Amino acid sequence: MKTYSSASEITVGVVGYGGAFNMGRQHLLQMRAAGMTPVAVAEVDAARLEVATQDFPGIETYSTVEEMLERSGVNLIVLITPHNTHAPLAIQCLQAGRNVVCEKPLAITTAEVDAMIEAARASDVMISAYHNRHWDGRILQAVELVKNQKLIGDVIRIECHMGGYGKPGDWWRTSRTISGGILYDWGVHLLEYSLQLIEAPLHEITGVRHSGFWGPQTAWKDDANEDEGFVVVRFESGQWLTLTITSIDSKGKDGWLEITGTKGTLVLDGSDSKLYQRADGRFTVTHIPNPADEGQRYYDNVCAHLLKGEPLVITPEWARRPIHILDLARQSAESGRALPTIYP
């Protein structure tokens, strides 16, 4: 893989400049903060291209990826596009010899991820998923407390949950075909958190889902996301993990992750973490503020990888694991049986 003599030599661009979340600007600013040089934006919406030129005066603008690949020498391309476009666009850019970062999820199916990995190897370039939440304060702290300090003993299970009650909005993230389904958007984050805490090989995936309540009330109808998705992941170690993402739970659940061990339970939430323990006949609850997020470390690592060959933290093989879980969960829900995990 080509390396560079200085960070500023790494020219970067984005495909998609974002709408409500202004994600294109966020990515370019973070890459610039890492020392890389923003040079290009590809976006089908001319109005968004105009915003990009205001945010980054002099930046190259293109209406298609093909135009960017043909006319720009950009070294690293970030895909900020709907989930079902990640694989074809990434492969197109990789085959053109460009390094690629995909917004999460890396793709929708395991086969897509494997094809992306093969394309990167064939062109000797990098492919990674933008798992900036790998460095969220809550999970950095949990890794220290659970893995390093063994504060809750041996981990038995992790329960991930997010959502509540309400009709989803009518945008592409609520189309099952485009997004992958209800589990993909936030579920991939929660799985990536969890796989930092349970390192054992995956063994078997069971998925179930409920559809048909909100779907008919949305613009997507039969193609709407499920009302709720639920996954059980079994590991070769005997540990297990569950994931629930819902839009029909009137009660909701406490926290995002509930990590249960032999000596306590740690619950991770958006603002703080709670440690529940029983010892010597006493029950205690300790509130632990979450440290600040450190998401900039994602692009700092990517830059160091391209500059000095430092190991990539979010390798495509790492990003493949949550996609494999979600892909098999969908297949399991359709077939009504548990499915073994598969590694190439």
Instruction: Yes or no: say if 15 and 79 are a contact pair by the CB < 8 Å rule.
Output: yes
Residue-wise DSSP of 196-256: TT--SPEEEEEEEEE-SSSGGGSTTGGGBPPSEEEEEEEETTS-EEEEEEESB-SS--SSS
CB atoms within 10 A of CB 73: 11
How many angstroms separate the CA atoms of 45 and 231, rounded?
37
> Residue 2: its pLDDT value, please?
87
> Residue 124: its pLDDT value, please?
98
Residue-wise DSSP of 137-193: HHHHHHIIIIIIS-TT-SEEEEEEEEE-BSPPPSSGGGBHHHH--TTTTTHHHHHHH
Amino acid at 216: P
> Residue 194: its pLDDT value, please?
98
CB atoms within 10 A of CB 70: 10
Q: 272-279 and 264-268 as β-strands: parallel, antiparallel, unpaired?
A: antiparallel
Q: Is 258 helix (H, G, I), strand (E, B) or coil?
A: strand
> Residue 344: its pLDDT value, please?
61
How many angstroms separate the CA atoms of 170 and 218, rounded?
6
> Residue 19: its pLDDT value, please?
63
Q: Who's near 336: CB < 8 A, 6+ residues apart?
A: none
Residue 278's DSSP bridge partners are 283
Domain architecture of the chain: domains with CATH: 7-130 (3.40.50.720), 134-295 (3.30.360.10)
pLDDT < 50 positions in the chain: none
Instruction: Yes or no: say if 188 and 207 are a contact pair by the CB < 8 Å rule.
Output: no
> Residue 270: its pLDDT value, please?
80
- Convert the pLDDT of each residue in 135-181 to its tens digit: 999 999 999 999 999 999 999 999 999 999 999 999 999 999 999 99
What distance separates the 2 farthest-apart alpha carbons in the chain? Answer: 70
